């Protein structure tokens, strides 16, 4: 039986770069890869899966909360790769679980574990519940050399806990942070605004 994988990490941990490397490896072996991403992620182009390192591939399918995956479309695929899986609905993740089990196609999802408040995204939560394999992609804190586990949100360059849960951005808006530095940045900002 094929597995459902969730490879997660903080912002800036090269998740998409890893996904694109896996895509390349499959294609070098003449295997058929199907690339998906959430429709709402249009930071680097509406159809593109792009890493901050400059590599890019065209997505085969854009996913919405109500997407229904057609098993016929996926026949003959050797692997399904999914970028920004944290933004997907429980329904889509459950379909991935079924596809891996019934159609015997491995599905590798990449995404954030939590939002900038430290709360699980819907897609990440469901992946933690139903994945066969959970793999952390590590990166270091932007402020020290410890492992980053938080996504620190910036507004005008200052740490913030306000705003919508889903607000797309890159380094100008989010930084990886360890627990200590995350707390320190939030506390310093809170003190500065009082």
Catalytic residue among 72, 84, 171, 187: 84
Q: In what order do the strands lie in the sheet with 158-160?
A: 158-160, 150-155, 174-177
Contact by Cβ (8 Å): 14, 148: no
Looking at the chain, how many residues does it have? Answer: 194
Measure Cα distances from 82 to 8, 39, 97, 143, 183 in Å.
12, 12, 13, 30, 31
- Is 187 catalytic? The answer is no
Closest CA to 109 of 118, 121, 119, 117: 121
How far apart CA 103 and CA 71 sit, in angstroms, is: 8
Question: Residues with catalytic annotation?
Answer: 84
């Amino acid at each position: 039986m094929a597995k459902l994988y969730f490879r997660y990490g903080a912002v800036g941990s090269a998740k998409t770069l890893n996904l694109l490397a896996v895509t390349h490896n499959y294609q070098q072996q003449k295997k058929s890869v199907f690339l998906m991403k959430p429709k709402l992620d249009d930071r680097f182009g509406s159809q593109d899966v792009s890493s901050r390192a400059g590599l890019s591939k065209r997505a085969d399918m854009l996913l919405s909360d109500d997407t229904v995956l057609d098993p016929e479309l996926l026949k003959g695929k050797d692997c399904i790769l999914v970028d920004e899986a944290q933004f997907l609905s429980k329904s889509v993740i459950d379909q991935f679980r079924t596809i891996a089990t019934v159609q015997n196609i491995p599905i590798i999802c990449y995404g954030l574990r939590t939002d900038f408040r430290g709360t699980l995204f819907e897609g990440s939560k469901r992946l933690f519940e139903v994945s066969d394999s959970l793999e952390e992609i590590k990166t270091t804190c932007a402020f020290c050399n410890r492992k980053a586990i938080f996504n620190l949100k910036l507004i005008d360059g200052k740490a913030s806990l306000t705003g919508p849960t889903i607000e797309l951005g890159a380094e100008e808006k989010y930084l990886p942070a360890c627990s200590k530095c995350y707390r320190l940045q939030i506390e310093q900002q809170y003190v500065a605004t009082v």
